[in-house]
Amino acid sequence: MSPSNTHEKLDPLSLFRETIELLPEAAVIFDAEDRYLFWNAKYEEFYAESAHSPLVGQLFEDYLRQLLELKQVPAAVGRETDWLAERMARHRQPFSRYEHQIAGSRWIRVEERRLASGGTIGTRVDITELKQREFQLAYLAHHDAMTGLANRVLLQERLEGAIARSSPDAPAAVVGLDLDRFKHVNDHLGHHAGDELLRQVAVRLRGAVRSSDTVARVGGDEFVILIPDLPDPRFADDALGRIQDRVSEPYLVFGNPVAIGASAGLALIPQDGQSCDALLRHCDNAMYSAKVNGRGAQASRE
């Protein structure tokens, strides 16, 4: 067969479709009116978990509305109108690259380019594993690995936010907490028992505060609790007593009964300081006074 005869038998549209099917990415093509024109099998796989697959000739906006009605876009729940407008605005740009979630909590990276003809060609790449690694790294950067509590980095971020929002009429509080007799547990039961005790203390601290409060581990057996948006300054003293009582209840660590206490110090925002360092220093001083007065004591404002 001569080269000229071979060329004559080639169907450009079929060749284009076969090429799109061979791509490792999910690919989709829209016409100038944003109607679905063609997509490859990989694209079909990406959206197979959705209750509705797109139809040839269907408007892209109508397909998105179907997904919203069926709650197939978890990131959009509660802000459907904004999500739809945002997606369509990106879709109509000359070029866009963004990430979004689809059914099953999978993450997809979208790239779309508007063609000179007015149509749009787009690709989709599954980046779920990459996003999970990013979330894990972000979590580890802001949380204590042993207890799952906030670490110093996250505490400082939230403390700075509380300082910015607080006023004498809308105070916040910082509680510093240091465990009593923790060294005794490490020395007699071992560090693995000390670690387990810290995890149990963390659970109790979370249970003793509001969901809007931040509990952080800032040292070996040192904790800080941020209590924003106080309904009344006296609420902080009540919270402090409740926290100490909860932490001081008996524990069972690997079958061993354990009794500890907690010395605490309290600082109010903005009365006792308007910087992270000043507030934490005030808590430390108050906590030291509590220890001098006797383990398990508490001190608030000097």
**Could you identify the residue written with the tokens 């100038």?**
32
Residue 30 has φ and ψ, to the nearest 5°, of -115, 150
Burial class (CB in 10 A: 0-12, 13-18, 19+), 186: middle
Is there a cis peptide before residue 270, judged by omega within 30 degrees of 0? yes
HEC string of 192-233 equals HHHHHHHHHHHHHHHHHCCCCCEEEECCCCEEEEEECCCCCH
Alpha-carbon distance of 229 to 72, in angstroms, equals: 36
CA dihedral sign, ordered 153, 155, 156, 158: positive
Within 8 A by CB and 6+ apart from 179, the residues are: 201, 221, 222, 247, 260, 261, 262
Alpha-carbon distance of 189 to 178, in angstroms, equals: 19
**Could you identify the residue written with the tokens 């509680």?**
175
The distance between the two most distant Cα atoms of the chain, rounded to a whole number of Å, is 102
**Could you identify the residue written with the tokens 């790239």?**
111
Question: Which residues participate in catalysis according to the annotation?
Answer: 221
Alpha-carbon distance of 164 to 162, in angstroms, equals: 5
Check if the beta carbon of residue 177 is closer than 8 Å to that of residue 262.
Answer: yes
Alpha-carbon distance of 266 to 302, in angstroms, equals: 9
